[in-house]
Amino acid sequence: MKKLDWYILKKFFSTFFFAIFLFAIIAVVVDISEKTDDFVKSGLGFRKIITQYYFGFIPHIIALLFPLFVFIAVIFFTSKMAGRSEIIAILASGTGYSRWLRPYWIGGLTLAIILWFANMWVVPRANQVRGAFEAKYIDGNNSYNALVAGNNNIYLRTDSFTYAGIYAYDTLTKRSSTAFFYKVIGNKVVENTRADALVWDTAIRKWRLESMIDRKLMPLKEVVTMETSKPRNFNFKPYDLSRDKYTKDKLTSPELDRFIRLEELRGSEGLNDLKVERYRRDATCITVLLLTLIGAIVAGKKVRGGSGAHLAVGFMIAALFIITDRFSTIFSTKGNLPPLIAAWIPNLLFVFVVIYLYRKAPK
């Protein structure tokens, strides 16, 4: 590490952390203005709102825009250096272009590792705090969200032969309106069980079927059993059915891996959304490094217009990246694009952008 490295890294980190700090304050102020009524209705004091909501909200919003602010910080301080002809002096002194980019590699990798660690463990824990608060005090005040949350239809495979459908499952009361179970052997239904309600009995810690009708289908006859209430020992618990819009955000990466494997065994639908989220946690770290290099190469050239011109080009590249990322996600969650490819397509495309910009850069 030479003086050049420390000089650029100092500017890199100071600009980035100042931008993040300033944006976090702005985000909190805007969020407070939007949720003031919900905070008042919650009846919580200032301290509890901070600890029960903003301790989760701030890490979430920082992680969400982390790559973008790395990009903006690199463009901002590098264009200032270019405007003062510092980069020209560095290259004219005999320092190679690749050598000049070394501190950007070091800074980008450092921030990428920080983001990777945060995405793995810190941000999911923060989202648990934020999600619990929003589910209780904000979504509950919205009649539309309450209606959607109260009509959670779930389809899964309970074992190797049995398929289940659970309608309008309520995560708060741990109760569904109706439920059915089909046992299939050799492409034939051998047992059909239906109930007016599936309820979690906290006393015996088992599921209970209410107003149950069970039909066993045999080659020459059919056996029908009717019971008002019957406990059943299924291999899933209420936690496994708690699928809300915060599920993929609240699980740490090891927990998310386990949850995906479990849902695959059960034959659950809609797993692409979970898989894209898991793969993106790794891909976003590489995004930080790529945007760091793009920002350095773009802003390292002295042009008329100074920082304004560099920021304009930077925002265009950032917008293109976000559009690519959104399209790949939609094609995966709503179509047939593999989640791994969807998460990594933006990075793969921008690798070629980095190579192109590097070759065209004046050295």
Segment 152-183, tens digit of pLDDT: 688 888 888 899 999 888 776 888 889 999 99
Residues 100 and 199 in one domain: no
Please tell me the predicted confidence (pLDDT) of residue 155: 83
Residues 168 and 128 in one domain: no
**Does residue 243 lie within any of the structural domains?**
no
Mean pLDDT of all residues in 68-93? 92
> Number of structural domains, the chain?
2
Residues 128 and 165 in one domain: no
Residues 131 and 201 in one domain: no
Mean pLDDT of all residues in 228-248? 81
Residues 300 and 201 in one domain: no
Residues 25 and 127 in one domain: yes
In this predicted structure, the answer to whether residue 145 has a pLDDT above a threshold of 60 is no
**Does residue 51 lie within any of the structural domains?**
yes
Residue 306: pLDDT band (50, 70, 90) is low
Mean pLDDT of all residues in 242-270? 81
Mean pLDDT of all residues in 39-60? 93
Residues 124 and 50 in one domain: yes
Mean pLDDT of all residues in 47-58? 94
Residues 24 and 123 in one domain: yes
In this predicted structure, the answer to whether residue 144 has a pLDDT above a threshold of 50 is no
In this predicted structure, the answer to whether residue 212 has a pLDDT above a threshold of 50 is yes
Residues 95 and 23 in one domain: yes
Mean pLDDT of all residues in 11-30? 94
Please tell me the predicted confidence (pLDDT) of residue 245: 65
**Does residue 242 lie within any of the structural domains?**
no
Question: SS in 3 state form for the chain?
Answer: CCHHHHHHHHHHHHHHHHHHHHHHHHHHHHHHHHHHHHHHHHCCCHHHHHHHHHHHHHHHHHHHCHHHHHHHHHHHHHHHHHHCCHHHHHHHCCCCHHHHHHHHHHHHHHHHHHHHHHHHHHHHHHHHHHHHHHHHHHHHHCHHHHHHHHCEEEEEECCCCEEEEEEEEECCCCECCEEEEEEEECCEEEEEEEEEEEEEECCCCEEEEEEEEEEEECCCCEEEEEEEEEEECCCCCHHHHCCCCCHHHHCCHHHHHHHHHHHHHHCCCCCHHHHHHHHHHHHHHHHHHHHHHHHHHHHCCCCCCCHHHHHHHHHHHHHHHHHHHHHHHHHHHCCCCCHHHHHHHHHHHHHHHHHHHHHHCCC
In this predicted structure, the answer to whether residue 244 has a pLDDT above a threshold of 60 is yes
Per cent of the chain over pLDDT 90 is 58
**Does residue 39 lie within any of the structural domains?**
yes
In this predicted structure, the answer to whether residue 140 has a pLDDT above a threshold of 80 is no
Give the residue, 123 or 156, on which the prediction is more confident: 123
**Does residue 43 lie within any of the structural domains?**
yes
Please tell me the predicted confidence (pLDDT) of residue 148: 44
**Does residue 152 lie within any of the structural domains?**
no
**Does residue 285 lie within any of the structural domains?**
yes
- Structural domain span for residue 280: 3-140+271-360
Please tell me the predicted confidence (pLDDT) of residue 156: 84
Residue 305: pLDDT band (50, 70, 90) is low
Residue 59: pLDDT band (50, 70, 90) is very high
Residues 56 and 107 in one domain: yes
Among 206, 234, 262, identify where a domain stops.
234
Residues 134 and 221 in one domain: no
pLDDT by residue (tens digit) across 310-328?
778 877 888 888 888 888 9
Residues 109 and 191 in one domain: no
Among 234, 256, 286, identify where a domain stops.
234
**Does residue 32 lie within any of the structural domains?**
yes
Give this prediction's pTM: 0.81
Report for 141-155, 309-323, 344-358: range of highest mean pLDDT? 344-358
